[in-house]
């Protein structure tokens, strides 16, 4: 018989999901049958598959050691040496539930090959306790940025925080604001809504779009599916340098979305090797697209205390240099972090 103690970070996980993590080779039918026949209990009582576990609950699994090994049992106290992170990532905010990072341009959010290193690996190395990871839960990212995009990435340190933040972002209940410097002189005087059909070629890792609507009228419905939608505001125009400084509010969260949408309207982001033809030969630059501000408007427990807080990421140096040179009137607003922002 095996007894497992539910940790604080695993609180809120369904019993069946907890067991599937603990016994990754066990088919779901076996787990549900074991619950029905009391081969698996919680706190010595019969447990339902959908019951959410609480911290310090005891899960009893009445299987032999051989059977547990066959089902891929993961020890609650694996011997994993604490590793030093391979990169340095500025921390914007941290508490017991949440970690908010300012991702540098050039860093992957998730690895694209088995050998690559990403922000996901950094997160686990940064948060790993000295005694190693316990239980089945691992902290995770709630949003992702393209490799060349800098700025705010939010992570959940507990299961409840990860679920709450991910749901808020997925249901468009968090405001995500980006800044971009693009080629071209944009004539838009009002805030504009951009809505396109969105298709991604996985082989080419490239997005193609078909315009549905570009204009000042608010897009009311939220049935976006295979669509890319954002709000765009022109903050400054430099006719001399043939550049436009944009503030972008992401409504949907499609891959390459803002890069492809701006390029399709004739304003490719400077430094974007994929969607800006003039930059395709320039290999030593990063795109001037920055996830600048994050405002969670609605959150479920245990994160209600973070509702309507504003988190802001300082601009990277190369972005700030061009902004100061080309749009000096914007420097006091976008290059300085005020006291109201965490």
What phi, psi does 215 have (nearest 5°)?
Answer: 180, 180
Residue 224 has pLDDT above 60, yes or no: yes
In a domain, 341, yes or no: no
Helices (H), ranges, the chain: 15-22, 28-36, 65-70, 119-127, 159-170, 257-264, 317-326, 331-334
- The answer to whether the beta carbons of residues 64 and 283 sit under 8 Å apart is no
Whose CA is closest to 30, among 71, 75, 72, 58? 71
- Judge if 206 and 118 occupy the same domain: no
- For the beta carbon of residue 277, count every other beta carbon within 10 angstroms: 12
Which CATH number is 62's domain given?
3.10.290.10
In order of 83, 116, 193, the CA distances from 181 in angstroms are 37, 29, 18
Which CATH number is 106's domain given?
3.30.70.580
- Judge if 150 and 184 occupy the same domain: no
- The answer to whether the beta carbons of residues 18 and 12 sit under 8 Å apart is no
- Judge if 282 and 315 occupy the same domain: yes
Please tell me what DSSP assigns to residue 262. H
- Judge if 184 and 246 occupy the same domain: yes
> How far is 162 from 157, CA to CA, in rounded Å?
7
Residue 86: the pLDDT is: 84
Residue 339: pLDDT band (50, 70, 90) is very low
In a domain, 342, yes or no: no
In a domain, 81, yes or no: no
- Judge if 132 and 195 occupy the same domain: no
- Judge if 189 and 317 occupy the same domain: yes
- Judge if 217 and 317 occupy the same domain: yes
Terminus-to-terminus CA distance in the chain, angstroms?
A: 48
Residue with more model confidence, 130 or 111: 111
Establish whether the linkage from the previous residue to 126 is cis, with ω within 30° of 0. no
Specify burial of residue 30 (Cβ count, 10 A radius: 0-12, 13-18, 19+): middle
Whose CA is closest to 70, among 28, 23, 134, 18? 23
Residue 137: the pLDDT is: 81
In a domain, 47, yes or no: yes
Q: Which of 147, 170, 193 is the last residue of a domain?
A: 170
Question: Is this model's pTM higher than 0.85 or not?
Answer: no
- Judge if 137 and 25 occupy the same domain: no
In a domain, 319, yes or no: yes
Residue 79 has pLDDT above 50, yes or no: no
Q: Which of 11, 41, 70 is the last residue of a domain?
A: 70
- For the beta carbon of residue 48, count every other beta carbon within 10 angstroms: 12
- Judge if 30 and 66 occupy the same domain: yes
Residue 83: the pLDDT is: 64
Is residue 305 helix, strand or coil? helix
Residue 120: pLDDT band (50, 70, 90) is very high
In a domain, 290, yes or no: yes
Angle between helices 28-36 and 15-22 (to 10 degrees): 120
Owning domain of residue 108? 91-170
Q: Which of 142, 170, 198 is the last residue of a domain?
A: 170
Residue 246: the pLDDT is: 97
In a domain, 52, yes or no: yes
The residue to which tokens 């018989």 are assigned? 1
Q: How many domains does the chain have?
A: 3
Those residues with Cβ within 8 angstroms of residue 192's Cβ, 6 or more apart along the chain or in another chain: 214, 215, 216, 231, 232, 233
The per-residue pLDDT of the chain, averaged, comes to: 88
In a domain, 194, yes or no: yes
- Judge if 149 and 16 occupy the same domain: no
Mean pLDDT in residue range 16-36 = 91
């Amino acid at each position: 018989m095996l007894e497992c103690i539910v940790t604080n970070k695993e609180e809120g996980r369904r019993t069946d999901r907890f067991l599937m993590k603990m016994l990754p080779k066990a088919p779901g039918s076996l787990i549900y049958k074991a619950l029905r026949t009391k081969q698996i209990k919680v706190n010595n009582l019969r447990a339902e598959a959908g019951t959410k576990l609480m911290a310090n609950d005891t899960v009893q699994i009445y299987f032999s050691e051989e059977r547990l090994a066959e089902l891929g049992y993961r020890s609650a106290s694996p011997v994993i040496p604490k590793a030093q992170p391979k990169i340095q990532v500025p921390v914007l905010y941290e508490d017991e539930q949440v970690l908010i990072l300012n991702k540098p341009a050039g860093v992957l959010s998730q690895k694209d090959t088995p050998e690559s290193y990403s922000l996901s690996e950094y997160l686990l190395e940064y948060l790993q306790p000295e005694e190693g990871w316990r239980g089945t839960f691992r902290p995770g990212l709630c949003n992702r940025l393209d490799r060349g995009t800098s700025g705010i990435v939010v992570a959940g340190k507990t299961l409840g925080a990860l679920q709450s933040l991910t749901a808020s972002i997925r249901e468009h209940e968090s405001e995500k604001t980006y800044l971009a410097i693009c080629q071209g002189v944009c004539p838009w005087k009002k805030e504009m809504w951009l809505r396109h059909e969105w298709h991604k070629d996985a082989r080419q890792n490239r997005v193609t779009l078909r315009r549905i609507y570009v204009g000042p009228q608010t897009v009311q419905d939220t049935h976006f599916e295979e669509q890319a939608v954002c709000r765009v505001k022109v903050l400054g125009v430099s006719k001399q340098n043939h550049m436009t400084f944009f503030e972008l509010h992401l409504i949907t969260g499609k891959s390459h979305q803002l890069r492809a949408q701006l390029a399709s309207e004739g304003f490719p982001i400077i430094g974007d090797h994929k969607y800006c033809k003039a930059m395709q030969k320039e290999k030593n630059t990063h795109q001037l697209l920055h996830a600048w501000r994050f405002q969670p408007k609605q959150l479920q427990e245990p994160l209600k205390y973070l509702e309507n807080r504003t988190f802001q990421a300082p601009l990277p140096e190369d972005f700030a240099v061009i902004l100061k040179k080309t749009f000096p009137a914007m420097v006091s607003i976008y290059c300085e972090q005020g006291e109201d922002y965490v």
